[in-house]
Amino acid sequence: MKFKAYQNILSLKEYLLIDRYSCSVEYFFKDESGKWKSEKLDKPGDTLRLRSVDAELSLSEIYHRVKF
């Protein structure tokens, strides 16, 4: 998986996997100690908070006009 290689990039703080076939986002981020954590979101009302840029997006915004 490419993410294993990306984990070695010191400046990388977040990584998203967005499924194009279903409402599903996997969000990887570094915690305060520098360890990688993950969250899985799979409901249109779920909100993704991007910590590095202090932004929020709901899955309904990400998948706006996408038909499954």
Query: Does a structural domain hold residue 68?
Result: no
Domain that holds residue 57: 2-62
pLDDT surpasses 80 at 1: no
What pLDDT does 56 receive?
A: 96
Query: Does a structural domain hold residue 6?
Result: yes
pLDDT tens column, 6-57: 898 999 999 999 999 999 999 999 999 999 999 999 999 999 999 999 999 9
| Gap between the Cα atoms of 12 and 29, Å rounded | 9
Query: Does a structural domain hold residue 30?
Result: yes
- Structural domains in the chain (count): 1
Q: How confident is the model at residue 3 (pLDDT cuts 50, 70, 90)?
A: confident
Query: Does a structural domain hold residue 67?
Result: no
**Model pTM?**
0.86
Query: Does a structural domain hold residue 16?
Result: yes
Query: Does a structural domain hold residue 10?
Result: yes
What pLDDT does 4 receive?
A: 87
Degrees to nearest 5, angle at CA 21 with 45 and 63: 35
What pLDDT does 23 receive?
A: 96
